[in-house]
Structure 1
Amino acid sequence: MDLSLLVILIICVLIAAWFIRYVASIFFENIEPSVTEKAKFLSSNLTVYYKHQIGAYSGTAAICQEIKSIVPSDCITFGIFYDSPEDVKEHLLQSAVGVIFSIDGKSLYSDNYAQQLTRLGYEKMNISKVGKTVQVIQRNRGFLSFFALLTNTYPILKKYIETHRLETTYSMEFYTSDHFYVYFPLENAEELRVPEYKSVERLEADMAKKCFDSDLSDSESEPEQTTDMEGN
């Protein structure tokens, strides 16, 4: 075998081995859920800017990217998820996506950033300390880490909640450059509820009414069709 070809082959094998090891380190990370009263971020009083979203949770990524185009890219973004995709239809899922602006009264950014966020439709909200919560922490190693969060971390977390028979409602995720922090509050979960939130039943009823009103408006705006009977 040609020496140069052998060198290329060895390099390819080493790269493949490194990639496999890299992927394995992401998807087979040791995840250990626990209950804590000192959850990072949630054990502090927060001021946040957020957007309320209705629809598939996959849409939250675009909002996070928009935030990072406004405030420094090392910002702490978050997602609050009010419904289980297993129980609620995709078009009725509700979430709130935003950025931490201050922690325990200490601002992380200047007011200029707050003004920019407000102009783009972000709302301001204060979140008081949340008490006891189920938590899990996963390292953030880039794009593949989000898949690991869904396919590995969440199943482990849900099994922990079921095994310990814990009562949970909403979930909240914080995203930093190094880690993902996932929480299911056991106390004061209402602190995470944004004013725009509606129960699934009310949201579904409002959507049905809006659709009916739209159809009614369309039918009323259609010109009346007349038939010239005399010409027939």
Structure 2
Amino acid sequence: MAPPTRRSMRMAAKAAQRRTRLLTGSAMAALAGAAAGAVAFLEPAGLSYPTLADGAETSVVSSRSVGDQDVSRAQSRAPLSTVSSVNREGTWQLGGEDIDTSQLSRPGANNPVVASLMEKDRESIPAGFNPDHPTGDTGNAYAFSQCTWWVYIRRHQLGLPVGSRMGDGRMWAASALSLGYWVDNVPRNVGDIIVFQAGQEGSSPQYGHVAIVEKINADGSVVTSECGEAMQGKQYSRTLTNVSSLQFIHY
């Protein structure tokens, strides 16, 4: 074999350089393809991530693990405005029409008359009072013309609850309390039941008495409507001034 000439050696070196460049280009193309595949994997076609506007809230919508790294993407979400929004100081602002806050704490009762009276007396109602307590009403079971008979009739005329078997007049405050009525020593509204203990204000020394508040005067005295066995079903009225010694059943 003839020894290589200088020209053949130069040609061989150039051919080696061309092969090196070809190999390097192929390797770079392969790396570029792999990178493009990784990006396509992280961002599937059709899924976009809009730029966050100033003040917008964000939430993580996708998270995938690539190698040893956890990749998460955030999607913008517009600030809440239809129902409520949160300002930068962290206070709540209600959207929409103004709310009448006085309606939020209105006392509720199935009986509309009771509900109206509770609204008037809202500052005085005992804690935990249930306006829908059992009434004990199964019809007028009291003897004709008795004080209890009239009180039952009058309460119904006024749209207020009353029990059917609350005992003698002197027993009514205790019976009312057991059913959940509000009882105290203050006349508050027309329709309140006045309870007289035995012998009190001229009542029966054995049975006591009950009557209805028909009016509360400016000086605190009350005007009554009452009945009794001797009245044969007719009512009478008087004005009582020593009211703090009496008991009154409300609602």
Instruction: Decide which structure has greater helix share.
Output: 1
Question: Larger relative CO (CA 8 A, sep 6+): 1 or 2?
Answer: 1
TM-score class, shorter-chain normalisation, is under 0.3
**Which TM-score applies when normalising by structure 2?**
0.21
